[in-house]
Amino acid sequence: MKLTELFPENEFRDVLSFAGSELNGETEIKTLTSDSRKAGKDSVFVCINGSEADGHEYVPNAYKNGCRIFVCEHAVTVPGETALVIAVPDTRKALALLAERFYGSPAKKLKLIGITGTKGKSTVAEFIYRILNDSGRKAGIIGTCGIRFGTVERTTGNTTPDALELASVFSEMYSAGMEYVVMEVSSQACLLDRIYGLHFDRAVFTNLYHDHIGPSEHPTFENYKECKKSLFRMADISVINGDDCYAHEMISGIAPEKCLFFGCDTESSRKVPYYRAENITRWNEKGIYGMSFDCRGVRFYIRMPGIINVSNAMAAISVCESLGLSLTVISDKLRSATVRGRFETYESGGRTFVIDYAHNGTSLESALRILRDYTSGRLIVLFGSVGGRTQLRRSEMGEAADRLADFCIVTSDNPDAESPDDIIDDIVLHIKHCPYIRISDRADAIRYAVENAKRGDVVLLAGKGHEEYQLIDGKKISFSERDILGKVLEEMYSPVS
């Protein structure tokens, strides 16, 4: 791509400096990056002011590596005579727009379906992804569980990747023949302009709870909420959980004809035209904890328990019918859909083990309440909390486990730079009544859970879900909870069912 194609003429008004005969409008740009280590000859380096480092300070490094074109928010020191420095009000927004342009505007060629909310994003995204693909519509998915399209499958560092990675992935997906992209949109993605300039065909709101408030996340709940709201101003159609108390606030200022509502047969869901789940019952099949319900005369079955997952299914149903699929087809495809790390159930020796991503107080409480209905023996929870996060999360998880479990195994999650024992200390301060044991090594904790579970017990392994690593001292160490569980169960009882 030529320099004038990446920066049209009217965007050169704020050039801070343009020196050296080596650079001109015909200069070929082969790399766009915000990492000075990747900047070299024929690169554009965009200086991002992050939480841990300011990219403006790395201009000399990028220059040393051969880079001569820089996008900045203020004047920078360039160590040589040949350089083009372009000033913009916001480099994050500039990176999002430049990335889309650099990769040939792939997002404009795809139908983007964005899902936001405190809980349920991964489940809703997976349901929609599975229904679309199983119905013959080619879709990719981006979210907590990684990136998938066609035969491609890989992990990503964030629920919603940064703008540069997003544009690259969109380009890959379009080239592979995808028509839809189903993506989780985190509040951080909105806050940090990772989705700036994108247009969504559908935007989904699942729910909103107090979470992700802290020094490294959102300063206030109001800020968190406003970030979520911003998605719906970027969408053709907003698909909203009308059972949530923030439903109408999410779409304030949006025309009613651009909104669809879904709900679970509540008083609020009877007040406006709705996709409403009715005759909701628990459903079990071959050891699977599931739910069944009616929607507009069609019976649906999902392989996940709890009213929260009925709500998640209703979100997916609403989106997919609005895209032209029949409810009968959706019901057929939804019945076999599963979500990795979300209520994954394993039974052995009359004991049930459930792997779930519940990693904060609200989600842990919800998971425990759901599993209580399926428990004839003890309800045991194995959990920890991540390092470097708010103390509130640890207290809420400890309190939820204390209220709702019969026995707690308190262990590590992703401690990062913190001592696992210090994190456990914070949690157990809030376990006042429930018996517990502390085992800092999570693999040992899993073995203890299997060895001590009795027939009829349900053991919830909370917090890791789909993750295949533990974050320790800034490094992701390979750690598969399901592999460890499977190995111990096979040793003690019989192969995992």
Residue range 377-405, pLDDT digits in tens: 999 999 999 887 667 889 999 999 999 99
Q: What is the pLDDT of residue 348?
A: 86
Give residues with Cβ within 8 angstroms of 52, minimum separation 6. none
Q: Give the strand pairing for 146-149 and 139-143.
A: antiparallel
The answer to whether 142 and 186 have CB atoms below 8 angstroms apart is: no
Tokens of 252: 């304030």
Calculate ∠ Cα 186-145-38, nearest 5°.
Answer: 75
Q: Give the strand pairing for 475-478 and 436-438.
A: unpaired
DSSP 8-state symbol, 55: G
Closest CA to 136 of 329, 335, 340: 329
Task: Please report how many Cα atoms fall inside a 13 Å half-sphere around the Cα of residue 409, on the Cβ side.
Answer: 26
Task: Please report how many Cα atoms fall inside a 13 Å half-sphere around the Cα of residue 251, on the Cβ side.
Answer: 26
Alpha-carbon distance of 481 to 446, in angstroms, equals 8
Percent of the chain exceeding pLDDT 70 equals 92
Q: State the burial class of residue 107 (Cβ atoms within 10 Å of its Cβ: 0-12, 13-18, 19+).
A: buried
Calculate ∠ Cα 258-264-265, nearest 5°.
Answer: 105
Q: What is the pLDDT of residue 383?
A: 95
Q: What is the pLDDT of residue 390?
A: 66
Q: How many CB atoms lie within 10 A of CB 81?
A: 9
Mean of the pLDDT values across residues 410-425?
Answer: 91
Mean of the pLDDT values across residues 396-425?
Answer: 93
Alpha-carbon distance of 205 to 252, in angstroms, equals 13
Binning the chain into helix, strand and coil, the percentages to the nearest 5 are 35, 25, 40
Residues 295-352: tens digit of each pLDDT: 999 999 999 999 999 999 999 999 999 999 999 999 999 998 988 888 998 888 889 9
pLDDT band at 408 (very low <50, low <70, confident <90, very high): very high
Tokens of 209: 């709870």
The answer to whether 11 and 112 have CB atoms below 8 angstroms apart is: no
User: Which string of DSSP letters, residue by residue, matches 151-169?
Assistant: TEEE--SSSS--HHHHHHH
Q: What is the pLDDT of residue 73?
A: 92
Locate tokens 């739910």: which residue? Answer: 291
Alpha-carbon distance of 357 to 344, in angstroms, equals 10
Alpha-carbon distance of 33 to 95, in angstroms, equals 9
Tell me which H or E stretch contains 313. Answer: helix 307-322
User: Which string of DSSP letters, residue by residue, matches 158-225?
Assistant: SSS--HHHHHHHHHHHHHTT--EEEEE--HHHHHTTTTTT--EEEEEE----S-SBSTTSBSSHHHHH
Closest CA to 121 of 292, 309, 400, 277: 309
Tokens of 310: 């009925």
pLDDT band at 201 (very low <50, low <70, confident <90, very high): very high
The answer to whether 95 and 48 have CB atoms below 8 angstroms apart is: yes
Alpha-carbon distance of 352 to 457, in angstroms, equals 6
Phi, psi angle pair for 128, to nearest 5°: -65, -45
Alpha-carbon distance of 327 to 131, in angstroms, equals 11
Whether the pLDDT of residue 88 is over 60: the answer is yes
Closest CA to 160 of 173, 171, 147, 175: 147
In this predicted structure, which of 213-222, 260-269, 413-422, 426-435 has the lowest mean pLDDT? Answer: 213-222
Alpha-carbon distance of 496 to 483, in angstroms, equals 10
> Residue 179, SS3?
coil
Mean of the pLDDT values across residues 439-449?
Answer: 95
Give residues with Cβ within 8 angstroms of 10, minimum separation 6. none
pLDDT band at 491 (very low <50, low <70, confident <90, very high): confident
Residues 249-294: tens digit of each pLDDT: 999 989 989 999 999 966 655 555 588 999 999 987 766 789 999 9
Mean of the pLDDT values across residues 67-87?
Answer: 89
Closest CA to 182 of 221, 232, 219, 133: 133
In this predicted structure, which of 77-86, 121-130, 180-189 has the lowest mean pLDDT? Answer: 77-86
Percent of the chain exceeding pLDDT 90 equals 64
Q: What is the pLDDT of residue 214?
A: 59
Phi, psi angle pair for 456, to nearest 5°: 95, -15
CA distances (Å), 340 to each of 41, 123, 329, 467, in order?
42, 9, 23, 9
Q: What is the pLDDT of residue 25?
A: 75
CA distances (Å), 410 to each of 40, 187, 259, 452, in order?
48, 29, 43, 15
pLDDT band at 11 (very low <50, low <70, confident <90, very high): low
Q: What is the pLDDT of residue 313?
A: 97
DSSP 8-state symbol, 107: G
Q: Give the strand pairing for 15-19 and 475-478.
A: unpaired
Residues 154-186: tens digit of each pLDDT: 988 888 899 999 999 999 999 999 999 999 998
Angle between helices 391-404 and 361-372 (to 10 degrees): 10
- What are the strands of the beta sheet with 288-295, ordered from one edge? 278-285, 288-295, 298-302
Residues 13-70: tens digit of each pLDDT: 555 455 554 677 788 899 999 999 999 999 999 999 887 789 999 999 999 999 999 9
Whether the pLDDT of residue 210 is over 80: the answer is no
User: Torsion angle of alpha carbons 149, 154, 155, 160, nearest 10°?
Assistant: -30
Q: What is the pLDDT of residue 270?
A: 56
Please provide the average confidence, as pLDDT, over all residues in the chain: 89
Mean of the pLDDT values across residues 212-236?
Answer: 79
DSSP 8-state symbol, 340: T
